[in-house]
């Protein structure tokens, strides 16, 4: 596949964690658009990362009160993107303005809308486990040298767990058990149950299981690039498939993928649990296990991207386990096509 530099833009992407924007501006490129994020009082603003005077990135400047000061000639901009001060003169030139992007701060994450359509906050994917009482959620971010859709391919592909993640969340009983995939208005839902089989290593240690388990692997994919996994396991035969998870452990593995360029992306992740929340050892175990698992994915994805760059586009075969990733690709393509028709 030739990786495209055309991205959906009438949607929400994570540009950073809230605590990344404090006393200094933060520069990020999201969906090919350079942005600068800075705090203006109680809000965080996202502006075009280019001074309208001589085009120096504003992220190279500094914060002056609730304004962003360009590091070249000191022009100052407010949260709307308007230039409100030019050192050495009392008047503001007409058109002294930079673009502003809609931004919502939610669940400790900074969601930006790089498009021109209505930025409806209700369309932000649900990551509420980051700040729900009774849940604890270690988090992190990778900068990945691959196209963002390759990361979505990987997340929606349960079968690779059996071969890539044997030290953490994989074992040898996954690929032979099919998933069920359902298309929704905003993406996909995929479910898989693995009954009366050994737990994967990370879950065995976290849950202290001594025998077989009933394991669930469910994912909600929200267009264009967000996944929340409802995963876990319970002692076999204790009622988990019928809804009783009391004899087990459950986790929400959260993934927000933000394209930077055609060949790079930001991979924001969280690993929330509602058991042993006061146990520091369990927190460390699961945080390290999650990071190790996702690092394995990143290494694989970057090696894959290097191979594509080396050999170019060649025909690929598809297998049954590709059903969900292929559906997601088609849905993203449709989303881009709708935006292009609207803009025409």
Residues 40 and 168 in one domain: no
pLDDT for 29 beyond 70? yes
Per-residue pLDDT tens digits for 255-279: 999 999 999 999 999 999 999 999 9
SS3 label, residue 131? coil
Choose one of 91, 122, 153: the last residue of a domain. Answer: 122
Residues 118 and 186 in one domain: no
Choose one of 122, 152, 170: the last residue of a domain. Answer: 122
Residues 207 and 255 in one domain: yes
Locate 267 and state its tokens: 């991979």
Q: Please report whether residue 1 resides in a domain.
A: no
Locate 12 and state its tokens: 């929400």
Per-residue pLDDT tens digits for 172-230: 989 899 899 999 999 999 999 999 999 999 999 999 999 999 999 999 999 999 999 99
Kindly report the average pLDDT of the chain as a whole number: 95
Over residues 5-9, the mean pLDDT reads 91
Residues 24 and 84 in one domain: yes
Q: Please report whether residue 2 resides in a domain.
A: no
Q: Please report whether residue 313 resides in a domain.
A: yes
Per-residue pLDDT tens digits for 71-116: 999 999 999 999 999 999 999 999 999 999 999 999 999 999 999 8
Q: Please report whether residue 281 resides in a domain.
A: yes
Residues 228 and 182 in one domain: yes
Predicted confidence at residue 311, as pLDDT, reads 87
DSSP assignment of 54-107:
T---GGGSEEETTEEE-TTT--EE-TTSBEEEBTTBSSPPTT-B--EEEEEEET
Q: How much is the CA Rg of the chain, to the nearest whole Å?
A: 22
Instruction: Among 117-121, 240-244, 249-253, 340-344, name the one with the lowest average pLDDT.
Output: 340-344
- Contact partners, residue 315, CB within 8 Å, separation at least 6: none
Residues 159 and 25 in one domain: no
The predicted model scores a pTM of 0.96
Residues 83 and 153 in one domain: no
CATH of the domain at 25: 2.102.10.10
Over residues 298-324, the mean pLDDT reads 91
pLDDT for 22 beyond 60? yes
CATH of the domain at 142: 3.90.380.10
Predicted confidence at residue 1, as pLDDT, reads 46
Residues 316 and 228 in one domain: yes
Residues 112 and 250 in one domain: no
Predicted confidence at residue 218, as pLDDT, reads 97
Residues 167 and 44 in one domain: no
What band does 3 get if pLDDT is binned at 50, 70 and 90?
low
Over residues 273-288, the mean pLDDT reads 96
Q: In the chain, what percentage of residues exceed pLDDT 90?
A: 91
Q: For residues 38, 262, 328 and 326, what is the CA-based torsion angle, rounded to 10 degrees? A: -160
Residue with tokens 């075969």: 317
DSSP assignment of 159-202:
GGHHHH-TTTT--TTSTTS--EEEEETTEEEEEEEEEEEPPPHH
Domain that holds residue 30: 13-122
Per-residue pLDDT tens digits for 148-158: 999 999 999 99
Q: Which residue has the higher pLDDT, 30 or 5?
A: 30
Predicted confidence at residue 97, as pLDDT, reads 97
Predicted confidence at residue 179, as pLDDT, reads 92
Q: Please report whether residue 165 resides in a domain.
A: yes
Predicted confidence at residue 342, as pLDDT, reads 84
pLDDT for 301 beyond 60? yes
| Count of domains observed in the chain | 2
Q: Please report whether residue 53 resides in a domain.
A: yes
Residues 155 and 75 in one domain: no
Predicted confidence at residue 314, as pLDDT, reads 80
| Residue 133 CB-half CA count within 13 A | 0
- The distance of Cα 166 from the centroid of its chain, to the nearest Å, equals 24
């Amino acid at each position: 596949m030739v990786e495209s530099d055309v991205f959906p833009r009438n949607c929400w992407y994570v540009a950073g964690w809230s605590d990344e924007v404090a006393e200094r501006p933060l520069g990020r490129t999201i969906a090919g658009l350079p942005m600068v994020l800075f705090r203006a009082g109680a809000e965080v603003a996202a502006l075009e990362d280019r001074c309208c005077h001589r085009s120096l990135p504003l992220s190279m400047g500094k914060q002056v009160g609730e304004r962003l000061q360009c590091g070249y000639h000191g022009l100052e901009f407010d949260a709307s993107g308007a230039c409100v001060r030019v050192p050495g003169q009392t008047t503001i030139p007409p058109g002294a303005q930079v673009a502003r992007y809609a931004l919502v701060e939610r669940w400790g994450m900074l969601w930006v809308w790089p498009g021109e359509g209505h930025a409806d906050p209700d369309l932000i994917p649900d990551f509420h486990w980051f700040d729900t009482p009774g849940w604890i959620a270690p988090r992190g971010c990778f900068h990945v040298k691959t196209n963002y859709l390759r990361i979505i391919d990987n997340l929606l592909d349960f079968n690779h767990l059996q071969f890539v993640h044997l030290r953490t969340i994989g074992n040898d009983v996954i690929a032979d058990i099919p998933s069920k995939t359902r298309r929704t208005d905003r993406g996909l839902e995929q479910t898989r149950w693995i009954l009366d089989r050994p737990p994967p290593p990370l879950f065995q240690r976290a849950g202290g299981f001594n025998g077989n388990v009933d394991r669930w692997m469910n994912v909600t994919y929200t267009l264009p690039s967000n996944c929340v996994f409802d995963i876990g396991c319970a002692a076999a035969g204790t009622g988990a498939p019928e809804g009783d998870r009391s004899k087990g452990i459950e986790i929400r593995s959260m993934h927000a993928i933000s394209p930077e360029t055609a060949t790079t992306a930001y991979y924001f992740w969280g690993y929330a649990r509602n058991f042993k929340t006061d146990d520091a050892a369990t927190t460390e175990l699961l945080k390290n296990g999650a990071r190790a698992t996702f690092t394995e994915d990143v290494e694989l994805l970057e090696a894959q991207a290097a191979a594509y760059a080396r050999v170019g586009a060649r025909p690929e075969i598809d297998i049954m386990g590709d059903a969900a990733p292929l559906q997601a690709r088609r849905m993203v393509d449709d989303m881009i096509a709708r935006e292009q028709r609207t803009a025409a």
